[in-house]
Amino acid sequence: MRQKIVAGNWKMNLDINRGKILLSEILDSDINKDTLTIIAPPAIHLNSFSQMLSHTNIALAAQNCHQHDSGAYTGEISAGMLKSVGVDYVILGHSERREYFMEDSLSLSFKVINVIKHGLRPIYCCGETLTQRQEGEHFRTISNQIEHGLFQLNEMELLNCIIAYEPVWAIGTGETASPQQAQEIHSFIRKTIAKQYGDMVADNISILYGGSVKPANAKELFTCPDIDGGLIGGAALNAESFAAIGNSF
């Protein structure tokens, strides 16, 4: 049975003091223990948060990492460094990284390999822009992102990944893909994986929806057969909202 997951991506928000307050509020909230809860704060919070989350059922994620283990890469953080402070997951290929930092699926494939090498789990993001959807390119765009970013992995490595579908046109805009639109893409992703790896792998990989999930729409989205949870942005910055989403399964 696939894991049900809510992952809160805090992006570049909250200093360390405000971040600790929010994390404490999340720890005090009553999120269903059967839901895998993941927090992805800014990188400077990771060491402190790892200590706060020890002996809890909440996992810690980084928002990015470099593809090399070490070297003259000023400002970057390696997967090994993240592991050393207790990180469990790494978000890779978020639409904002693709758009603002020009990351592409081929370069991300090296990050995926390195993250897995260090025993961490990638949360690999894919999704189409509004123009790509309007021009009927959304299926091909997502297929290319999946194939170029993940198909270098073997079956066991892929099963160690989580995929997050982000309709780029529904991030931070207040727009949300309808449950039918979201389910259609999630089903397509699962079929794309099945063609390469078979039904067993496709049926056991968790695929999250990452497009303006809120308490008001989470339950309807999460009842779709191929949606296994959410990569949450704005609503993850409020403990009550985040807990409500986590309890929406």
Burial classification of residue 12, based on how many CB atoms lie within 10 Å of its CB (0-12 exposed, 13-18 middle, 19 or more buried): exposed
Write out the two tokens for 51. 């200590």
3-state secondary structure of 109: helix
SS (H, E, C) 18-40: HHHHHHHHHHHCCCCCCCEEEEE
Q: In the chain, which residue ranges form alpha helices assigned H by DSSP?
A: 16-28, 46-53, 79-84, 95-100, 105-117, 130-134, 138-150, 155-159, 179-197, 199-204, 215-222, 239-246
Write out the two tokens for 114. 């390195």
Q: How far apart are CA 35 and CA 236, in angstroms?
A: 15
Query: So which residues are the catalytic ones?
Result: 94, 166
Write out the two tokens for 74. 């000023």
